[in-house]
Each structure stands twice: as structure tokens, then as C-alpha cells.
Homo-oligomer: A and B are copies of this chain.
């Protein structure tokens, strides 16, 4: 309490769905940092209540801004998926009402435009700093190299290259962050359904074009979209991603080293090893043949 070392500013965590916000809050606390959670009604996991928090409906922008100032939060992190709110279900307060036309415009854009608009609103209009989850905890950042016992065959390396080529072509078009390829055939391209649903779908494809749990083949590659707001929406993988990739018969998962978050990296790698999958953190090399 009476320490004289400089303490990092209190961190506001806007908590989307799933376990990532909790992992980040734990990591921030472990780094000696105070946190304040803004839990979103209908989105955040109740387990987040173990930290100092407030529940807010999406749209209560006046309360949101006042709370963050009262709590003296200078830095904000947005983490965890949030479903685009149904406009008819937004309950704006007076400040929110005035902002509604602006946010309706943003909601009509793709993810990239929406997220950039939110960052601009928080930083330029209200003086907060929006930080990336991996700035709070470097442990979340995907490391470089082959992280597992398994590693790709030459044919699977070609599948990785093919997936990167497709992602590079889609990158500027704000489509998705994930592509799966097996033996040269593009099995699935992620758009609005998300990676989990995409992996579930691969498991339903005919077994002639994909790997199986007995004879794994094919790769999932996730990388950020070109020019996307990297502080908010980096590709994320975790134990569930590995389990679903395994069920889909894939041989491995490739992310961009430093360009993806791995939620609970130790457990994720352990799970991959148990299934015999590889996980690779690929150094970005946009001057190479894949770009």
C-alpha cells in the first residue's frame, strides 16, 4: 500500500464472451495491476464477478464513461467476442441516445470499421488509451516456432502456404481471419460464423477430402486481416480451438507469431500434444512468396 514504485494505471477491461477476459484480469492482477471490469449484460461470463466490476447494458454510454472516469481508469482493453447488438434491444441512456446515430453507422460497417470507430471514440473523444491484451500480458501472445511435439509434413507445409495465400487475398476485404486447407483443397473459409463453427463444419465434410482422427491431415491457419485494428480483434486460439481442430481431423494449427493470442498457452499445447496436432507460431514475412 505504501510502495513507492510506479504502479501502472488502473486497467478497465470491457469483457466480451468466454474465458479470455478472466484470463486477462488474472494476468493483470498477477502483474500487480488494479483492474475494473465492465461486464456487458448478456455477454460476459458471470465468473468475471470475482473482480471489481459493474454490469452495464450495451448502450448505457453515459454511465459507462462516468464510471471509467470515477474509477480513474486511463487504459482500456476490449477482449472477448461480442455479438453485434440488435438495435431494437439497445437501451441507451441520454448520452447513448445522442451517440446512437454514430454507432448505427458504425454497426452497418464491417468489423474493421466498427472496431476502428470504437477505438476512435474512446481515444480521441474521451482521452482513454486503448491497449492490446498482449500489452497487458505478454504471456497471451503466440510465441514463434513449432510449439508442439508434432510438426508438419512437406505436404502440410504446402497446405499452410496455400492457406496463407487465400488469407492474404482476403485480408484487405474484411472477410475473416481463418482458412483451412487439406491436400491442396480449401476446406473452409471463415466469415461471420467464427472459427469454432468453421471447424465444426469441416468435421461434417466427406472424409475423402479431409483428414480423420486416425490419419490427421490438413491445417487451420489464422492470421490478422490486413490493416485491421490489432488492439481489439487479434486472432485467438485456445484449448477449445485445438479440440475442434482435432475433431475435424486436422493435423495442425498455424498462427502468426505475435499476431495472435493463445488463451492458456500451456494447456493449449498440452491438449495439442495429446491429440498429436502441431501448433506453429509463424514469423510474418510479407516479402516472401506467400504475400
User: A117 to chain B: closest CB distance in Å?
Assistant: 13
Residues of B within 8 A of A85 (CB): 208
Query: Copy number of this protein in the oligomer?
Result: 2
Determine if A186 and B173 form an interchain contact, defined as CB atoms under 8 angstroms apart. yes
Residues of B within 8 A of A173 (CB): 165-166, 169, 186
**Chain A positions 180 through 205: 1 when the CB is less than 8 Å from some CB of chain B, otherwise 0:** 00011111111111000100010011
Query: Which residue in chain B gives the minimum CB-CB distance to A114?
Result: B185
Determine if A191 and B191 form an interchain contact, defined as CB atoms under 8 angstroms apart. no
Q: Which of A65-73, A104-112, A131-139, A276-284 contacts B (4 or more CB under 8 A)?
A: A104-112
Interface of A is mostly: loop
Determine if B191 and A188 form an interchain contact, defined as CB atoms under 8 angstroms apart. yes
Tally of contact residues, A, Cβ under 8 A = 36
**Chain A positions 50 through 86: 1 when the CB is less than 8 Å from some CB of chain B, otherwise 0:** 0000000000000000000000000000000001111
Q: A87-B208, A189-B191, A193-B204 are in contact. List 13 more A-B contacts (CB 8 A).
A: A83-B206, A85-B208, A86-B207, A86-B208, A110-B185, A111-B185, A165-B173, A166-B170, A169-B170, A187-B192, A188-B191, A189-B189, A197-B201
Interface residues, chain A, with chain B CB atoms under 8 Å away: 83-87, 108-111, 165-166, 169-170, 173-176, 183-193, 197, 201, 204-209
